[in-house]
Amino acid sequence: MAFQIVQKIDGCHTTVFCDRIEEAIDRLGLAVTGVETRTSLRLCLQGKPKLAGFVGPCFGGVTDDGVEIIRYEDTETYRDFSQ
């Protein structure tokens, strides 16, 4: 499984990719607010952490190797991409 974290920093969208969400949480100083419990979502999203100030976990597609990508966007990025 791969993780993609997208944040707007100094007016630019910045993306971090990692294999373990714990790496991104530690490196970026993110706060976990709970876990995704909705059973109506894809299995790959269930049980993944929810992050303060971020939308997600969301399905972000798959890598060229077929690995599922779990995506998180900060609220400003989500707003920019959703308009």
Domain limits, the chain:
2-82
User: How confident is the model at residue 83, as a pLDDT?
Assistant: 82
User: How confident is the model at residue 20, as a pLDDT?
Assistant: 95
pLDDT(59) > 90: yes
Average pLDDT over residues 13-28: 94
Whole-model pTM? 0.90
Q: What percent of the chain has pLDDT over 70?
A: 100
User: CB of 2 within 8 A of CB of 69?
Assistant: yes
